[in-house]
Amino acid sequence: MLSAFGFPLVLGIWWSRANTQGALAGMLSGAITFVILITSGVLPTNAEPIIAAPISLIFIIVVSLMTAPPPKEKQDLVEFYHTHLEDTNG
């Protein structure tokens, strides 16, 4: 779950530049890497996310930056929620 959905979820919430293409690339790259590492058996049990999750992160960032940004309204909404949280916390 971490390898496929961890970074797409976190960056989708916190990075206004993250987009759909980047999230899909991150999910697919993380899941595929995880499956390859599990089936090959080259790593000890539960070590696969240590490699697959950063690969997912790299793909999200690279693909998001190489493709069109989300609409301005969505980016503004992300910024609004982060600013709103800062205002209520003092």
pLDDT in the model for residue 75: 83
Q: Are 6 and 25 in contact (CB under 8 A)?
A: no
pLDDT at position 2 is: 86
pLDDT, tens digit, for every residue of 25-51? 999 999 999 999 899 888 887 888 889
Q: Give 88's pLDDT tier (boundaries 50, 70, 90).
A: low
| pTM for the structure as a whole | 0.81
Q: Look at residue 9 and tell me whether its pLDDT is greater than 70.
A: yes
Alpha carbon distance 88, 40 (integer Å): 49
Rounded CA separation 25/36 (Å): 16
Distance of CA 45 to the CA centre of its chain: 23
Q: Secondary structure of 19-63 in the HEC alphabet?
A: CHHHHHHHHHHHHHHHHHHHHHCCCCCCCHHHHHHHHHHHHHHHH
